[in-house]
Amino acid sequence: MSTPSVALNPVLTFSTSSHQSVVPLHWDIRSSPRNAVFVTSTITSSSEFARPATYPPVRKLRVVSGLIPTSWRVTVSNSTGVTVWDILVAVHHALQTPLTQFEWDCKSEKERARIERAYHSRCLASSNVEQTRKRGVLRIDCFLSTTVFAGLSSPTFRHGRLEVVLTLSRHFGERHRGH
């Protein structure tokens, strides 16, 4: 039995050019998906967010990454077909989840120190420092400065469900902030 072929929407597709990732969608995943913008002149409408994430459209897919532990499942569902917006919201929601005590305890002392710096930087950059601080350390803080959406790739069917690989790149403008 062969698996169907699925293509990703070009606005989500990871590609490389001159050793840099190129994706028409610019988004720092620490911020709301509402802050995602298209950076090419060929895409001018925000209606692109409502377009299917895949061709043909699928009702469910899983987003995986070497940076995301398997216990942090990022599953995207939409009965009429997963959209670009659905993916952004699912990724954001999964990474805005507070880190559990168990997850924190599994980190080395060195990792915890780095994560704490990322957490404090995120709090200071927030428009409401106290509210952000009260939420505590989030999963996104574990990504340190690797928070820029660089696209999706490698659509593959596993166990009857489509999986796509999320690629992130570093936010070089903040690389040394808070260190």
Q: Where are the domains of the chain?
A: 7-98+145-174
What are residue 50's phi and psi, to 5 degrees?
Answer: -85, -5
Q: Is the pLDDT assigned to residue 20 strictly greater than 80?
A: no
CA angle, corner 11, sides to 79 and 163, nearest 5?
A: 50
What are residue 108's phi and psi, to 5 degrees?
Answer: -75, 165
114-126: average pLDDT: 95
Q: Which pLDDT tens digit goes with each residue over 73-108?
A: 899 999 999 999 999 999 999 999 999 999 999 999
Q: What's the predicted TM-score (pTM) here?
A: 0.86
What are residue 158's phi and psi, to 5 degrees?
Answer: -130, 125
